Structure 1
Amino acid sequence: MQLLRLDQFAAHLNETFMVEIENVRSPFVLVEARPIQHHPVQGLVRSPFSLLFRHEAAVVFPQRIYTMSNNAMGEFGIFLVPIARDKDGFIYQALFN
């Protein structure tokens, strides 16, 4: 299992990540990558962080693990949760803790 970190994603803000949805690759744009406040814990492997992605589909996709890829980062599984809708589509969040 690949250990993903905030700095890996922050370098790709506003880039497209392709997500596999029912055998179709669909573009999600990384619109936010930020740390989550936390109390230091001994042995913590990485600091917690949050990612927000925008998808311009008119339908919302359910929360679940999706296969995601980016040219620079390769392919990985990510748990996405729909959290909001705006004029441009739906916003999905991934939390890492």
Structure 2
Amino acid sequence: MRHSNLLINFNQGMKCKHLQAEREQANGVRMAIVTLDHFARCVGESFQVDMGTGCLAFTLTEARPLPERGFAGMVRAPFSLLFRSASKVLLPQQIYRLRNATLGILDIFLVPVARDKDGIIYQAVFN
């Protein structure tokens, strides 16, 4: 019984990874290989954050490189993104599904890092 449960869980995991890869490929930009260049051309563009019951509009305000501390097998140069939300509602740090006209659908871990008179700033770090 245990062996068959493990096999079912393994097969479901493989199926989920396969579906995830298909979804990423269908959206045009694979998260595993997304680079600063993908986002740099989108500074100033709107990103819709899917909240399940609706969307919040974020604007990509900055895309900049981070100091590179390379290591063997490094996939990309590290970079940081800053998004601004005009909403006064503070979202907790977590993975959010973002939609953008240029990049399509992306799942990105966002962290609130600042609040000012214009709204809340969220950061995403890729390394």
Q: TM-score, normalised by structure 2?
A: 0.73
Q: Tell me which of 73, 76, 91 is aligned to 1:61.
A: 91
Identity %, equivalent residues: 48
After superposition, residues 66-81 of structure 1 pair within 5 angstroms as 66-81=96-111
Which residue is 2:39 aligned to? 9
Q: Provide structure 1 residue ranges, at least 5 long, that are not aligned to the other structure.
A: none
Rg bigger for which structure? 2
CA deviations over 1:49-84 (Å, ceiling 9, x no partner): 000000011121110000001011110100000000
- 1 or 2 for the larger relative contact order (CA 8 Å, sep ≥6)? 1
Corresponding pairs, count: 97
Q: Tell me which of 33, 38, 43 is aligned to 2:63.
A: 33
Q: Does 1:42 align with 2:83?
A: no
Which residue is 1:20 aligned to? 50
Please provide the CA RMSD for this pair. Answer: 1.1
Q: Identify the structure with the greater strand proportion.
A: 1
